[in-house]
Chain A
């Protein structure tokens, strides 16, 4: 049995009379890839923001490695050991810092590489790992495409050798043609570094490819959670079924067949 690494317990967040999430509880276990899925507005982003401390939940707690995230010491450790990749790579990189500064910042603030030369060498290696090259070190984010920027963001996240990687829809802002490349970089890095990954998405095809287990969110509540096989082969909640039904099948004949069946059963 894998040990629990990051646990959300009863997270609730309201904005005025609107309840963004209510009683959301789940656990990311060491070494697994956990998918958090749901359509837009289902509370995925609020959950992540509460999880990493960007938003204060109205109720509920977050625990990391068995300890509740309270106090400076716990947060300090969490800030180093849990890293995040954001959805929009056009917004998540400081436009006035070079790639070397962006990727090296974690190494600097966490005292991992104290010399500029040491950081540069590390950043060069990291860029190589995500498929960029040393020539990109002194360029600014504006000279990169979306896919390249997301690779920079991944390099930044793995620079400090985290144990947990939280990916908030990391490919949904990218062109379909580069989505697969970035997903593969994430999967390879995860395996190579033994990361536990929380992968937030609304694209169920990507989730199926990457994730060991799934949590399905519907209107701020957990509709269902289970292993990939359980969810995909035998969805229990009606919401999960409708989500799965919305995934296109990449075979026109099979897709037509399925639509026909759905129409029949709706009658």
Chain B
């Protein structure tokens, strides 16, 4: 039913991972918030005498071609990467919920039209759609965010519509209808509050995918522009030195992977907490 356009990282279900995922995601979020203040060096300070230093004392994760401290850039870039991904998911979720709610209460015609519009968006692979829009808007962090929201709301709207329809068929919603509760209140008080659990899970899982997509867009050059510290752009910067200075591309690459995995696990942990049908297994 739902067309997932996002990469998902599937790992075996281990209860321990569930328990670690929530504090780990919280830690990553904290780093994203206070990262710039934790940086041991100025992430934008160019010092060519220190160019391409291997990881070691002084520069724990080495330096890049301009002699900038990679750890400091990583911490500064955490804010762009993680927080923008969350912003993307929040906006995509809001648009998706509004569209799905309109489709659910608007009757058959509204439903048909809105879902066909969704299908048009879904027919284009998310990454290509986002790339096209970001390039058309002019490369910047803001256009990446807009592009990803445009690419991501349709699968969200699809999912939400399916969940809302299921909730609307429940007896308590029917009993509210028989009592004459108006459509808007029915949505706000009965349908949405009882549908949100699965939406939280989807949103958390999406953050993980968006981090990867976002870094991909930056890597291709349509995201945040130099000199701002951005993980995708940092990987792109390190491309030419992969054989001579592996850390320049590898360190931010590991950061992207780790963050995506942590938020993916967080989504899974949330699901096993909230979804009663999955039980405790």
Contact = CB atoms under 8 A, between A and B. Distances in A.
A86 B180 contact: no
B179 A109 contact: yes
Nearest to A54: B174
Interface residues of A, number: 24
Given A91-B170, A96-B193, A86 B175 contact: yes
B100 to A, nearest CB: 19
Given A97-B189, A109-B185, A92 B180 contact: no
B153 to A, nearest CB: 26
B277 to A, nearest CB: 15
A248 B177 CA distance: 38
A14 to B, nearest CB: 19
A83 B178 contact: yes
B178 A79 contact: yes
A52, A76, A92 — which one has the most chain B CB atoms within 10 A of its CB? A92
Contacts of B172: 91-95
B190 interface: yes
A216 interface: no
Contacts of B177: 54
A80 interface: yes
Interface string A139-162: 000000000000001001000100
A53 B190 CA distance: 19
Contacts of A54: 174, 177-178
B57 interface: no
A65 interface: no
A53 B179 CA distance: 11
Contacts of B182: 109
A224 interface: no
Given A86-B171, A93-B172, A95-B194, A109 B178 contact: no
B194 A96 contact: yes
Nearest to B196: A96
Interface string B108-140: 000000000000000000000000000000000
A76 B189 contact: no
B176 interface: yes
A79 B181 CA distance: 9
Given A86-B171, A91-B170, A92-B171, A105 B193 contact: no
A76 B175 contact: no
A76 B190 contact: no
A33 B23 CA distance: 60
A110 interface: yes
B171 A80 contact: no
Given A86-B171, A88-B171, A109-B185, A94 B176 contact: yes
Contacts of B194: 94-96
A93 B190 CA distance: 10
A92, A94, A106, A110 — which one has the most chain B CB atoms within 10 A of its CB? A94
B64 to A, nearest CB: 52
Given A91-B171, A94-B172, A76 B193 contact: no
B165 to A, nearest CB: 15
21 contacts: A53-B178, A54-B177, A76-B180, A84-B179, A86-B174, A86-B175, A91-B171, A91-B172, A93-B172, A94-B173, A94-B194, A95-B172, A95-B194, A96-B193, A97-B189, A105-B176, A105-B179, A109-B182, A156-B175, A156-B179, A160-B179
Given A52-B178, A94-B194, 10 more contacts: A53-B178, A79-B180, A84-B179, A86-B171, A91-B170, A91-B171, A94-B189, A105-B176, A109-B182, A110-B180
Interface of A: 52-54, 76, 79-80, 83-84, 86, 88, 91-97, 105-106, 109-110, 153, 156, 160
User: Which 7 residue pairs spanning A and B have beta carbons closest together?
Assistant: A79-B180, A91-B171, A94-B172, A92-B171, A96-B193, A84-B178, A92-B175
